[in-house]
Structure formats: C-alpha cells, structure tokens
Structure 1
Amino acid sequence: MRHISFRSRSLAGLGLILSAHAAAMPAHGADVLDPIIVTTATRTAVTADETLAPVTIITREDIERTPAVDVADLLNTHANIDVARNGGFGQPVSTFIRGANSSHTLVLVDGVRINPGTIGLAALQNIDPAHVERIEVVRGPRSALYGSDAIGGGINVITREPPEGGRWEASAGAGNHGARSGRASVGGAQGPWRGGVSVSHFEADGYPVVSDAETDHGHRNTSFNAHAGVDLGAWDVDLNHWQAEGRTEYWSFGDLSQDFLDRVTALTGRYGTHGPSSGRLRVTYHRSRIDQNDENFLGDLDHAHTTRTGVEWQHDHAIAPNQLLTLGIGWEREEVNALSFGTRIDERNHVRSGFVQHDLEAGPHRVIGALRVTDHDAFGSRTTGNLDYGYRLSSRWRLTAGAGTAYRAPDNTDRFGFGGNPDLRPETSRSVEAGVRFQPAPGTRWRAVVFENRIRDLIIFDGTRMENVERARITGLEVSVDHRAGPWRSRAELLWQTPRNETRDERLPRRARERAAFTLAYDQGRSDYQAQVVAVGGRKDSSFSDETLSGYGLLNLSAGHRLSGIWMLRGTVENLLDRDYETAAGYPARGRFVMLTLSAGGGL
C-alpha cells in the first residue's frame, strides 16, 4: 500500500501556508461571511458568531460542492471530527469529537435523538446529503441540554424544508464503483398551508470491503423526506418525517448482507413567535431496524430494533432585552428488541428530564448557564451542567471560556449483550476550555480553543464481561480561519490533541493526534470550483493490538456549471490522487471516486 505520514511539523507548516494564503487574498471591505442561525448549542436561535460554544456549520452550499455520499463523508472533511469507517459504501462508521469515544457523540436529526438503544452508534452512513439543509456540530459537553451521550459533543442534521413559493427540483448522477443516484422534490405554499416532499435513491456495486474478500459489496439507500405545516395564528404547527431504507452487503467470515431502516417523525407546535415569551410542544418518534439476511452459526437471523417515542416542552422568556430564560421538560420511552449470536435483549426504559438555561448579556460580558436533571429507570437521577462565558474586548476581539459535566448511560448491549453487566454505572466527564476569536475584517474570522476533558468509569470488555474500569484525559487545541474576498472563499482548520487512556497509559484508538483540513472555493456565478485537502496523522487501531494506522492525505475536487436557467452540471472527485489508506485496520477506504450529476429546478 502507498501511505503518507503526517507529523505535527507538517501540519504546523500547512497552517502557516493557509494563514499566509488568507492574508494574501485581496481585501474587500464589502465582503462579509453571512450570519448563520444555529440552534443546537443553546436550543435557541442565535447566530453562529454569538454562540459561545465552538460550533462547526456545514451549509447547503458546502454539501453540494463536496463529493459525499453520506453524512459521515461530510464530517470527514473537517479537522475537528475523526471518522472511522469499516470499509466502503454504507458500512458502519464511528465519529470521535474532541477525542472522546464514538459512543460519546450525540446525533440528532431535526433535533430528535437517533442513537439506537443497542450499540449506541447512530447510522450516519444512512443519511443521504441530498435531504440535508445543514449540519451543526457542537464540540464539548452538552448533556445539560440533551441528556445522555453528549460527552464529546453533538451532531444535529437538519433536513431540507420546502422552498418558499412553489418549486420543483430533480437530479440524476453516475460514477465509478457502479454508483448511481437520483432525486426528485416538490414544495409550495397556499395561504396558511405549506408543504413538500423529496425522494432520493443511491446505489453502488461497491468494492471488497475487507482486504481478504474477493467480491464487491454493494449498498442501496432509498430516502424520503416530507414537511407539512400550517399557520393557525396563535400556533404554528409543523409535521416532519425523514426515513432511509435499504440494504448493505458486507463481509464477516463470508459474504453477508443486512437490511436497515431509520425513521424520524416529529409533530411540533410553536406559540408566541412574535412576543417576549415563546415556546414549543413536540411529540417525536424514532425507529431504527437492522435485520440480517443470513443465518449465523447458531441458525439464527440476528436483528437489532429500537423504538423511541417522546414528548418535550420548551418555553423561552425574555426577562429583559439582554436576558433570556429557557425552561424545558421531557419524557421518553425506549423499547429495544435484539438478537445477536444467541443473546436476546428485550428491554423498555423510561427517561424523565427537566432543564433550565439563563442567557445574560451585560455590556461586554455574556454568560450562559444551564442545568439539567435526568431521571432514568435503570440509573436513577443525574445532574449535569454547563457554564459558558464570553468577554468582548473590542469589535474585533472576543475571549471565551467554558466548563461542563456530561454523562452517558450504558446502552442495552453493554448491559445485556454478550458479556453484559446489568450493574454498570454511567460514564461521566468534566470538561473545561478557553478560546479567542478575532475578526480583523468583515470577511475574515480567526478562532482558537484549548480544551481538556476528563472521563471516568469508561466501559470496557475485560475478557469476561463489561466493566467500569478506565479513565481518560484528552487535551487539545483547535484553530480555524474563514476568509471571503469577492468570488473567493477559503477555510482552514487545524486540530492537535492528546487523547489518552490514563488507566492503560496509552493513546485512545482510532483518534489522530493531528488533523488538518483546507477548502478553497471560487464562484463566478454561472460556474464554481472547489478544492479540499484533508490531512490526518497516524492512529492506533485498537486497544487489543499494536497495529498502527498510517496517516493519509486526500485531495477532493468539485466543479459546477449552469448550462441554462434551470440546468446544472456538476462533477466531483474524491481522493483524486487515489491514495490507499484505512481508517480501520483491514478495511480499505475508497480509492478515487468520481461522480457526475445533472440537476434541474424551477418554479411551478
């Protein structure tokens, strides 16, 4: 295999090059980075610039210009998120935010938790970017607002709503590895009513997902997204539904396949949207199913099913123009039914929670504090909190600091699967950070954050059963630069971290010590071009072996051209240099992947 080794010196050099590039770009005083409204960091609508917690935003423009076939591909183009994939299209992925375990990442679709109640890893590989409006990644603990899992951070995938006014869109694409895609959508509004629907299909013949396999392993995914709403005056009501369904082939001592279904439905009623007090009442439903199509050696067809229903109420009250008080309560019921190699799981859990958040701004100071109490059937009551502080030195400089606690309730596989332990305690963490933000010009932003996260009661398999025996300490530095000048836009991100298992005195597996990402885009209106560079350092593959995964570098390209008023042609290339690399030992990543897509859209 051809490998590239990246070390801290090379990434630091890359950072200097990117900084020089941003400084060398022509300055245009009228060019500004558009304000983006985010909701995940505080559960209230604020601009990304005003959010004290570090947030990464992947916009619709970013999505369209990235050669990604799922959300995991999109995340991997950013330096502050580690992504490990077991092979090719549709294979399971793990995401690591700030060096925490993959099970310490909370994943939401339109604010609804999709982490299953079995293995805890959300199926990001099943989310088609065609249905995504933007992705908000909050780095750092957020259990104070969302409860379990958000030790490293949270990922909120926000689906596309119908465009204002009547409009239709359609696209079709094809690429190597037998890849083909298609999408059609329509949306509109009439009086107080609005709605739209979108359907997409992606399919690939694939390639051998493990080094020892000789046959290709394919994947297909049919996704559906629908929104409907009505303005009733005092209330505004929305019904959202997203689902993905398909089949993935893989290899495990032979060629196998499994069917999957992921579904999220939410009915939301909002009130008081134009007054000092506002809120929402929401009913949610999540369904995750994995069904094996081939019998195991016991003659069983394994499966893993999670059904989760919930009700939540949130109320925001502006105490004064510079103070916002947020209150919330929630109830959730989770049902899990699974069978894995003769071990059956059939569990039901109820979770009740309440939280309060106070957002205060006084002169150059801003303080956001949140506290949550979560009552879980199996683990009793847990209290978590966050405190974020910002101080504006001037119109260009801002200092930030934050501290928080978080926890993760063991999933049902930890407790009742093979080697399960019903007496497991939740994993807990304490995190601190400090940062600086600098805006030398309207079109340029610099950000840097140092952080430390200490995790206790890490759950491991000790050879006979699952136990809370380990501790971890993760320290790091995140740096990012965004710059816009005329038709040019660039973004550079750097991450240095030391994710260590303190109990074993070793680095946590599959987390790089250094990562870098750079994007350069040029948009002249009718045509646009983009280049991305991703560099990842070496990582240890597993706590159970000494194998090390070599560092790698990727070059991705995208070019789009508007053929006419409604037609758009786009070509994307992932891994242009066709580098061989792995993010999990024995599972080769995709080589060069080329897609050509023709799309059209217009008014009804």
Structure 2
Amino acid sequence: MDQSLERVRRRRRSDGAGFWLVLAAGSAVAPAAVAEELRGAGAELGGDRAAAATAPLEVRVEGDRVRAPAPPKDRSVAGSVLGRDRLAGAGLEAADVLRTQPGVQVTESGGFGGPATAAIRGATAAQTPVYLAGVRLNDDVAGTADLSLVPLWLVERVEIYRGNAPIEADRLGPGGAIFFEPRRPSRTTAGVGATAGSFGARRGWAFAGVSAGPVTSIFGVSAEAAANRYAFVDDRGTLFDASDDTVQRRQNADTRTIDAWALARVDLGRGATVDVIANGTGREQGVPRLALLPSREARGEFRRALASVVARVPFGDEAQHTLEARTSFIEARSEFHDPLLELALFTRELRLAGRRLEQTLGATLHLSDRLRVRPMLSVAREGISRAPDDIPLARARRSFARGAVSAELRLGEGLALHALASGECHATGVDPERPCDALAPTGRVGVEVGSDRLRVLATVGRYLRVPTLGEVYGISGVVHGNAELEPEAGVTAEAGLRAQTRPGAVLRGAYLDAFVFGRATSGLIAYARAGQGYVAPYNVGRARVLGAELLTGVEVTSFLRAEIAATLLDPRDTTPERMTTNDVLPFRARLVVAPRLRAAWKPPDRGVLSGASGELRAVYQSSRYADPAGLGVIAEQATVDLEAEATWFGGHLATRARVADLLDARRTDIVGYPLPGRSAFFTLESTW
C-alpha cells in the first residue's frame, strides 16, 4: 500500500509536468496531421453518396486522399470530420475520439462503458445536440446524450459542427451539433470482431450485409461488459494532506450492454431511395456515487428503441432538385433500483420513460447555377412519464414545430453568401391562449471569400435554447422544476480560415483550420439550493464565451503524418451584481491541446501482411473550477495513448492494440469521479 501511495504521489508531482510533455510533443509534430479519409460509395460497407458528393475538396498525396476538415452538411461553419479509420482503434469509445477535436470537451463518470457527454465551445451538454443516424439522442429530462451508447463499430464517420448547427439539426443552439453517421449498405458483406481489455472490459460484434436486386441491408449485433474495478486514490476529503490517503478500488461501476441494429436501403429507380434504420439497446449497470461516498447496491437499467425512415426523390427537368421526408421515433426507458436509499431519490424504485415522434419534410432546390435553397418543416411530439408519479414530470408533454430555410448564393469564383432562418414553436402547457411557450426567430448569416486552397469564413447568428421538460417539471424530490423558466437566448459570431497545399507542394497534404469565436448569452439556466433541501433551476443572468481553435496537419514523409488540435477558451459570468467574486464559468477547461502522430506502412508485394500503422496521441486539459464560487478545482490532466494496427490477407483480417493513459496519470472528472489509469485493449476483426 505504501508503494502504491508513493507512485500516486509521484504522479501528482508529475501532473503539472504533463503540460510541458504535451507541448513538447506538439512542437515535435506541429504543424501536424492530415484530415483522415472519408469512405466513398465504394468503401468497405458502402458510403453515403450524397455525403461523398458534398465532401470537401481534396488533394492527392501519393495515391491517398487528403481532405481539408470541412463538414459536409454545412461547409460555411467551423467543423471537422472523423473517418472510419479514426473510429476503429482497440477499445475506443465515442468519448475517446471526440476529446481529440478542437472545441469539444468531454465529461466522463467512469471506465469502459461508463456514461459520458460532450459539449462544444463552452456550452453545456444540454446545449449540444447529438444525432445518430439523423435522430437526436438528447433526452428531455437532463437534456444530454450519453456517448457510451453510440456504437462505433457501426459508425462510418463523425461530423462535428463547432459553429451553429446545420439545417438538418432540429436545434440551432449555442453548442453546434455532433452527427454520427452509420455505415450504409452497398453490397454483400460480413464481419465479426472481439475486444478484450483491462478491468474486465470485453466487447464482441458481428454484422452481415446482403444485396438482392434493389434492396441492400445490414444487420448487426454487439455485446459488451466491464467490471471497472480500477484503483484510485481516496484522499478522504483532505486534498492538501497526503498523510491519510489510501488506494481504493472503484465500487459498483460495472456495465453490461447489448445492442442490435438493422439498416436497409431500397433503390426505387431514377435516383429515388428509401432508407430504413432500427435499433434496440439494453444496458444494466451499477450506479456509482462520489469516491468518498461509494454506492453498494444501487443499480440502473436502460433500454432504447430507435427507428427512422427516410425517403429521397429527385425531381426537375434534369433531376436537379431533391425532396426528402423523414419519420423518426425514439423511446428511452431508465429504471433505478435503490434498496439502501443511496441515491437520494426518495424512493427505492424509480422509472422514467421518454418518447419522441418527429416528422420532417425538406427539399434541396438548385434554382440556378449560383443559388441553392433548402426549405424544411419539422413537427414533433415528445413526453416524459415517471413512476411513482408523485411530481408533475409524470404528466409532462411538449409539442414542437419548426420552419427553416437555408440559402447559398455564389457570386463568383471566390465569393459566397450563406443564410439560415428558423422559427420554432414549443408548446409545453395546455393553455389555449398561449399556444407557444417559446416562439422566437433564430438563424445566421455568413460569407465565404477565397479560393479552394485558401478560404476565409465569417458567420453571425442568434440562437434559442428552450428548457427541458425535466427543468420545467422537476426530476425527483431532490431536483425540483420551475414552470417560470424562460428560454436561454444569445448571439454567436465566428471568423476563420481554411487552407490546404497544392499537389507537389513542399508541405505535402498540409492543411490549416483556424477560427476565433464569441458568444453572449442571456437567461442562463442554473440550479440553486433551497432551504428545504432541494435544488431548483432558475434563469441566472448573462454570460459570454470567447475563444480560438486550431486544427492543422501535414504529411511529414510518405509514411508519417501529424496533427495538432488546440482550443483556447475564456468563459465568463457577466451577470450584474452576481453573488461571487469569481466570474469564470465552472467545468470548462480554458486550454486543451491534442497532438497526434501517425505512421503507416504498406508492403510493396502486398503478401500476407497488407499493412501496418501506429499512432501516438496526447490530450492536455487545463484545470477547471468545480463550482461557481471557484472554491473547488479539478486539476489539470494530461494523458498519452499508444495504438498499433496490422492488417492481413488484403485487409480482411485486422489486429489492433491500444494502451490508454500510457504514463498512468491521475485523472478525475466532474467532482469526485476518479477515472481509470493505464489500461490496455486488444481487438481482432475480420471482414469480407
């Protein structure tokens, strides 16, 4: 035990050195990496042809395609794209890949399979919508989306929109949007894979794709589990006194998940298609508490059903226009079993269920060679049920309607104007004289100037974030609601440039994506503790966030690529006459740096060994305040991951290994949630 404590103390002393370690790595690889390849329609499991057609311009580097990091749904805002090869690492989860992107901050609460959320540009996770196959995953209780329930084995690419969200998103909030796009069926195929790792982590998956005439389909299932009994230091609440520290193991943090998917595409002829997606997910897990107060028998169960049907029909004299209709449904059920009343739910059994049915109709109209217009209309009905029904949340319902239109006008080779206008109606109550609790215009205008190799962008917008049903009606006896809450509103602005080198340039495959941004918010929703012992939300006042982002990459040699992502953030509470002297918003790191170095090799004879690659990446995150007063601090953290991959028999067999937190740095998140240290994962996957 004494030796373990000494190792932890050495890690504590080295945590501050983590910043210099990451900077040194960044200096070695800067200006850094390349945008990874998005798979096209002929990729392993097929790609989305529409997305491939609108993908960013590319340069060729010795047969490989290197793209600037413009997100395909809306290239006029800041964003980036992660291709399939960035998602296939051993034991990787959605939180692991997102934390390497500029502007994105991830919050974790446990080990493998543990809940995690993402926020963009100083927004909260409730302000950042996350979409899987076009269906928004954010629940309407807390407003967040759990990244641990995103199946990376099924995902073809991830699109991160750091500026305002594209028109495909049903929310134009301050936190941009994240889209997980699944693999699309294109041919007969099959695959199977398995992962094993530290702390009892294990995962297996299998899929099969069939192509029969105009119908192609893919069916897949995965199962994963983890014990998550990793060691951590319990400081017994005395942060600055190491004499009473002990090494403990995480309790009641195990998870078990089963996930099943079905995707099908029907070609109706003349360019018309119908896509059908269905998903069922089930998870059973322990519900851990803070390290100082671990739970023993609190358990949770989660079930999700998701379905979506999308029809696309081209029309016009030359089929230049497209009409699209989408119907989606999602139902999520959570059950908490708390026989010892460890979770302060005031009940031993709690059941929550949320449902959302949404219908969207949109079109893409190419009115001329220079003008493209996209109108869209969405309606939705969502609700929450709770048992026991002893609080108003059990009767919470909301109707939603939105009309939006975007336009792109190209005035020449080097100038384009963009605009998006949206009107939303949120009806939470049943008052016939007040059909809309929140009704306000949102949108943005932007401009692009420059060539394909160097482009300058600027955007100004207005957003609205309506309180969730949980914030209005409350969640439990501990967390009450506030029916008088007003929506958060604010304005956003960003300006930046995208640049990439020409073929044969000295810096081959180099690109630069740099933006500065700002946001001013009024009516921020925060929580306050009442004298009766419960907490309730209220509109706290004003805030502003300023920042800068950098994503740059280069091909160092024909087999070595490098990348560095960095985010500088200045989040401030600007409420007049606030109660605290600290004005820095909590839970937001003001500096995040993520360098990455990747080497890839392919043998010339292409024999049994098809190729090999390795990657070294690091993430540095500065300290964060844990409360509005600035009294609690989550220490700065730096982690280094090492990854290797080998493919065999023409790519049909792949072996992967990854060591996470290679230097065994001490990590915590939220308040009192210790994260695992050094861990190893191994994956074997076969596709044909």
TM-score w.r.t. the length of structure 2 is 0.80
Q: Does residue 5 in structure 1 map to residue 16 in structure 2? A: yes
Query: Which ranges in structure 1 are unaligned for 5 or more consecutive residues?
Result: 43-50
Q: What is the aligned partner in structure 1 of residue 443 from structure 2? A: 385
Structure 1 CA distance, aligned partners of 2:201 and 2:169?
Answer: 37
Q: What is the aligned partner in structure 2 of residue 103 from structure 1? A: 126
Q: Does residue 470 in structure 1 map to residue 541 in structure 2? A: yes
Q: What is the aligned partner in structure 1 of residue 433 from structure 2? A: none
Structure 2 CA distance, aligned partners of 1:11 and 1:562?
Answer: 30
Preserved contact between residue 334 and residue 353 of structure 2 (Cα < 8 Å): yes
Three-state SS of the structure 1 residue aligned to 2:139 is coil
Q: Which residues of 2 match residues 223-372 of structure 1 at below 5 A?
A: 223-233=259-269, 235-252=272-289, 254-255=295-296, 256-272=298-314, 275-295=319-339, 296=341, 298-339=346-387, 343-345=391-393, 346-363=395-412, 364-372=414-422
Q: Which residues of 2 match residues 394-543 of structure 1 at below 5 A?
A: 394-417=451-474, 418-442=479-503, 443-464=509-530, 465-484=536-555, 485-503=557-575, 504=578, 505-525=582-602, 526-543=611-628
CA offset digits 1:510-565 (Å, max 9, x no partner): 21110011111122131111111111111112226611111111111111112434
CA offset digits 1:267-289 (Å, max 9, x no partner): 11110077111121111001122
Q: Which residues of 2 match residues 9-20 of structure 1 at below 5 A?
A: 16-19=27-30
Q: What is the aligned partner in structure 1 of residue 46 from structure 2? A: none
Task: Letter of the 2:16 partner, please give it.
Answer: S
C-alpha RMSD over aligned residues? 2.6
Task: Letter of the 1:578 partner, please give it.
Answer: D
Q: What is the aligned partner in structure 2 of residue 591 from structure 1? A: 677
**Larger CA deviation: 431-440 vs 325-334:** 431-440
CA offset digits 1:453-505 (Å, max 9, x no partner): 11110011232332112211100010111223523222211111101122245
The Cα shift of 1:96 comes to 2.1
Structure 2 CA distance, aligned partners of 1:386 and 1:21?
Answer: 32
Compared CA separation, residues 98 and 432, structure 1 to 2 (3 A): same
The Cα shift of 1:452 comes to 0.4
Preserved contact between residue 104 and residue 149 of structure 1 (Cα < 8 Å): no
Structure 1 CA distance, aligned partners of 2:570 and 2:163?
Answer: 15
Structure 1 CA distance, aligned partners of 2:175 and 2:480?
Answer: 26
Three-state SS of the structure 2 residue aligned to 1:72 is helix
Preserved contact between residue 364 and residue 373 of structure 2 (Cα < 8 Å): yes
CA offset digits 1:311-365 (Å, max 9, x no partner): 1101111011221110111110001113589535121111011111111112110
TM-score w.r.t. the length of structure 1 is 0.91
Compared CA separation, residues 185 and 147, structure 1 to 2 (3 A): closer
Task: Letter of the 1:498 partner, please give it.
Answer: D
**Higher Rg:** 2
Preserved contact between residue 302 and residue 338 of structure 1 (Cα < 8 Å): yes
CA offset digits 1:277-311 (Å, max 9, x no partner): 11211110011221112344744411221100011
Preserved contact between residue 32 and residue 563 of structure 2 (Cα < 8 Å): no
Q: Which residues of 2 match residues 541-580 of structure 1 at below 5 A?
A: 541-543=626-628, 546-565=631-650, 566-580=652-666
Q: What is the aligned partner in structure 2 of residue 178 from structure 1? A: 200
Structure 2 CA distance, aligned partners of 1:303 and 1:474?
Answer: 37
The Cα shift of 1:186 comes to 0.5
Task: Letter of the 1:359 partner, please give it.
Answer: E
Preserved contact between residue 278 and residue 316 of structure 1 (Cα < 8 Å): yes
The Cα shift of 1:149 comes to 6.3
Task: Letter of the 2:634 partner, please give it.
Answer: L
The Cα shift of 1:157 comes to 1.1
The Cα shift of 1:13 comes to 6.6
Preserved contact between residue 68 and residue 498 of structure 2 (Cα < 8 Å): no
Q: Percent of pairs identical after alignment? A: 23
Three-state SS of the structure 2 residue aligned to 1:64 is coil
Compared CA separation, residues 109 and 176, structure 1 to 2 (3 A): same
How many aligned positions are there?
A: 588
Preserved contact between residue 250 and residue 257 of structure 1 (Cα < 8 Å): yes
Structure 2 CA distance, aligned partners of 1:282 and 1:353?
Answer: 14
Structure 1 CA distance, aligned partners of 2:675 and 2:585?
Answer: 21
The Cα shift of 1:238 comes to 1.1
Query: Which ranges in structure 2 are unaligned for 5 or more consecutive residues?
Result: 1-7, 35-58, 237-247, 429-436, 504-508, 531-535, 603-610
Q: Which residues of 2 match residues 34-53 of structure 1 at below 5 A?
A: 34-35=66-67, 41-42=73-74, 51-53=75-77
Structure 2 CA distance, aligned partners of 1:36 and 1:248?
Answer: 41
Three-state SS of the structure 2 residue aligned to 1:576 is coil
Compared CA separation, residues 198 and 28, structure 1 to 2 (3 A): closer
Structure 2 CA distance, aligned partners of 1:511 and 1:334?
Answer: 31
Q: Which residues of 2 match residues 126-141 of structure 1 at below 5 A?
A: 126-141=149-164
Preserved contact between residue 419 and residue 461 of structure 1 (Cα < 8 Å): no
Q: What is the aligned partner in structure 1 of residue 227 from structure 2? A: 205
The Cα shift of 1:380 comes to 3.4
Preserved contact between residue 333 and residue 351 of structure 1 (Cα < 8 Å): yes
Preserved contact between residue 15 and residue 494 of structure 1 (Cα < 8 Å): no
Structure 1 CA distance, aligned partners of 2:675 and 2:588?
Answer: 16
Preserved contact between residue 521 and residue 529 of structure 1 (Cα < 8 Å): yes
